Chain A
C-alpha cells in the first residue's frame, strides 16, 4: 500500500533559524495536505497542494509540491516559539477511489529560545 515518509523525525532549532520538513511518497499523489499538531492537541489543517510544482505561502511558511507529485516540503523561515509542534503531511493516491488520507510519520519541531 501507499507509504508516506517524512524526514527528519525530529528537529531542534534555535529561535530565528529556518526549518524544513520533507515528505516522500512511494506512489503518485492526487494531492498533499499539511497539518500541524501542537503538543497535547489535535491535528489542524494548514494547506492543500494539488498541482504539479505548486508553491504556496502562508506568512513565514512555504509549501511545495514536487513536479512528479510524489514529494512535498514545508519550509518555515525565522522560526518562533509558536511554531513548536509536529508537522504532518497527508496524501491521497492518484486515480479512482482515492479515499484514504494517509498521514506521514511527522516531524516534531522544538524551538530553543
Chain B
C-alpha cells in the first residue's frame, strides 16, 4: 500500500460527459502529480500541484482541469469526454515540489468512455 488513495477505481461513462477523479496523497506529501496511461502505453504527465498551487503542466488537454484543495487532496476533471480519453489515470504524491524525490503512486482510476 503506497498510502495514496484514488477514487473511483473504475468509471464507465458516455462520450460528451464530465467526470471527476479524486486523489488523496500520502500523509505529509504536499506535491501531487497526475498521469495518463493509455493501453500498453507509457505514463503521460498531465499536471503537478504543490501545496495548492500549480507547479508544472504537461500535455494536458483544455478539456481537462485539476486542482489541489487546502486539505491537499486533488481532483482531476475531465469534460466533453471522447473515446480516446479511455485510459488509466494515476495520481502520485511526493514530499517535495520538484521532481527529484520519490513519487508514490495510487492504484489508478480506469476510465472507459463508451
Contacts and interface: CB of A to CB of B under 8 A. Distances in A.
Main secondary structure of the interface of A (DSSP, over half): strand
A107 B101 CA distance: 22
A88 B98 CA distance: 19
Interface in B5-59: 33, 35, 40, 42-45, 48, 50, 55-56, 58
Interface in B57-84: 58
A105 B42 contact: yes
Interface in B74-114: 90, 92, 97-108
A43 B4 CA distance: 12
B56 A100 contact: yes
Nearest to A45: B102
Contact of B99 (A42, A50, A98): A98
Contacts of B2: 42, 44
Nearest to B59: A1
A102 B103 CA distance: 12
Contacts of B103: 33, 43, 45, 90, 101
B99 A30 contact: yes
A31 interface: yes
Given A42-B2, A42-B90, A99-B98, A88 B42 contact: yes
A27 B98 CA distance: 17
Contacts of A25: none
Nearest to B57: A100
A85 B55 CA distance: 31
